[in-house]
Structure 1
């Protein structure tokens, strides 16, 4: 993401939502340096914090550094669902 301090995020909101021209943002999950119990580590070694959701302006997104696998998305969805339903 562009800005004062660049950070990495996973665009979580899905292709249909991301392509809606009337919506100026996407839903993201934070990519963190240090794993914790609320992260999923990808096969590329990135740690996605699935409880750190944010609305990120599309205009602030810059470089795509990679993609996550279907299995990783399923794990993120399952863990996020578990957090939301047990809170």
Structure 2
């Protein structure tokens, strides 16, 4: 992402939502290299903070640097669902 402090994020909202021309933003999750119990580790050692959701304008994105494997997305979705339903 561009801006005052560029950062890596996981675009969470899905391809269909991301490509809707009338929706100017996407839902994201933070990507960090610090360990937290509420994260899921990616193959490259970075971690997705699935409890840190945000939405940002599509115009702030520069480039896609990779994709999260389907199995990890299932784990992220399951954990996020568990957090939402238990609070």
Report the TM-score range of the alignment, normalised by the length of the smaller protein. Answer: over 0.9
Q: Distance in 1 between matches of 2:63 and 2:35?
A: 23
Gaps of 5+ in 1: none
Deviations 1:22-78 (A, max 9, x none): 000000000012021110001121100000000111000112111000000000000
Q: Distance in 1 between matches of 2:31 and 2:10?
A: 7
1:4-83 pair list within 5 angstroms: 4-83=4-83
Q: TM-score, normalised by structure 2?
A: 0.97
Query: Structure 1 length as normaliser, TM-score?
Result: 0.97
Stretches (4+) displaced over 3 A: none
d(CA) in 1 for partners of 2:66, 2:47: 13
Deviation at 1:13, TM superposition (A): 0.3
Equivalent pair of 2:33/2:45 in contact (CA under 8 Å): no
Tell me which moved more, 37-46 or 15-24: 37-46
Q: Where do 5+ consecutive residues of structure 2 fail to align?
A: none
